[in-house]
Amino acid sequence: MWRRRPDGRDTRTDRHREAEEPEAPPQPAEPPALTIDALGRKCPIPIIMLAERINQVPVRGVVAVLADDPAAFTDVPAWCRLKSHEHVASYELPQGGWSIHVRRNY
């Protein structure tokens, strides 16, 4: 459903964005305590690497998994739900792939 904004702009289109500056890519809110480089590795290797090393960070600490396999983009957040950890966010890397941030919950 669409609504007209109080300033008269239509929420169905982005015509009002034409004059605005492009948005900068989101930056991680919290630096990771551990970074796992799984670039160039196919799933399930990034998940196996995460499962083996997540206990190296303190509880509530963040682990960044660097991965360029498209399956990792969906499989790491699914692993988080399965294991009761928190998928904080996924950020695109300039060289391709993602930095997938996971918060250890226990």
Give catalytic residue positions: 43
How far is residue 83 CA from its own chain's centroid? 17
**Residue type for position 88:** V
First to last CA, the chain: 40
Residue from 87, 75, 86, 90 nearest 41 by CA: 75
For residue 22, give the DSSP letter.
Answer: P
